[in-house]
Amino acid sequence: MKMIILVKHICILFVICMSNFSNGAIITRDAFSLDTNTNIITGNGLNWTRWDTLAGVSITQALDLYAADGWRLASSDEMVGMYSNFIPGVDWSIARGENSAVSDFISVDDYQDLISIFGVSFNEFGGISNIIFGNDLDNDGAYRSAGAYYTDWDPAAGIYADNSRNTVDFSASDYSVQLIRAISVSEPKFCHLLLVSFLILIISKREKLLVSKKSL
């Protein structure tokens, strides 16, 4: 009986330790989720930065801040895949090419789902978001942008061709930079692992002691 009580106490302690990693909420829309504790989005097999995180900074500044942790600019295919998830009524595949573009009015529900996860780069007029991304595949020094915003009618969204204005050093208050990275799994803190290992060791020694007493 004492052993059962001890095991229960260890389980409770382990849950308390692990709860330190989940103080925030998880907001989910379709295949994407936002961890409000880290402000990092997960979806389509990648981590994504929110649009308010890097508002007003240039590509160079964003990569200086985040590249060391594995972040990079989102590619055209990755942006098309993300927009296709949130706004399926538009054929975003047309905008896969470096110099191609597509934009259209979208539903209020689709717009709200998108910004509930990604936020906005400029919090005025219901939300204005301009997002720089791409790989400069044609080596002209220009990068692409995407947008999502309210209009006098329905909301609108678009993925646009590269623009000579969008260099690595361009920044504006209503523009953000879209970074992505491979998903990294958080590991428990060392002190928590050490504590659990210590408790397991105590149980093991106690069991051996009980076995040795019974054999006497």
Q: How confident is the model at residue 127 (pLDDT cuts 50, 70, 90)?
A: confident
Sheet holding 156-163, edge to edge: 102-105, 156-163, 143-149, 128-133, 175-177
Q: Which two tokens stand for residue 12?
A: 């409770």
In the chain, the percentage of residues whose pLDDT exceeds 90 is: 69
Q: What is the pLDDT of residue 6?
A: 47
pLDDT, residue 124, reads 80
Nearest of 158, 155, 175, 157 to residue 167 by alpha carbon: 175
Taking residues 69-86, what's their average pLDDT? 98
Let me know if residue 188 belongs to a domain.
no
Residues 46 and 120 reside in one and the same domain: yes
- Verify that 54 and 12 share a domain, yes or no: no
Contacts with 212 (C-beta within 8 Å, 6 or more apart), sequence order: none
Using CB atoms within 10 Å of the CB of residue 61, give its burial: 0 to 12 exposed, 13 to 18 middle, 19+ buried: middle
Confidence class of residue 205 from pLDDT cuts 50, 70 and 90?
low
Q: In this structure, how many other beta carbons lie within 10 angstroms of the beta carbon of residue 148? A: 26
pTM of the predicted model, to two decimals? 0.76
Tell me if 26 is assigned to some domain. Answer: no
Residue 25 domain-assigned?
no
Same domain for 146 and 68, yes or no, is yes
Domains contained in the chain, number: 2
Instruction: Decide if pLDDT at 211 tops 90.
Output: no
Q: Is the CB of residue 47 less than 8 Å from the CB of residue 179?
A: no
- pLDDT of the residue at 125: 79
- 27 or 196, higher pLDDT: 27
Cross-strand bridge partners of residue 128:
122, 149
User: 166 is in which domain, residue-wise?
Assistant: 31-182
Radius of gyration of the chain (CA): 24
Q: Are 176 and 114 members of one domain?
A: yes
Do 111 and 88 belong together in one domain?
Answer: yes
The whole-number pLDDT of residue 92 equals: 98
User: Do the strands 32-35 and 40-43 form a parallel or antiparallel pair, or are they unpaired?
Assistant: antiparallel
Do 176 and 209 fall within a single domain? no
Residues of the chain above pLDDT 70, percent: 74
Pair 155, 198 in one domain: no
Q: Check: CB of residue 92 under 8 Å from CB of residue 80.
A: yes
71 occurs within a structural domain: yes
Confidence of residue 189 (pLDDT cuts 50, 70, 90): very low
CA 188, distance to chain mean position in Å, is 20
pLDDT of residue 65: 97
The Cα 93–Cα 213 span in angstroms is 72
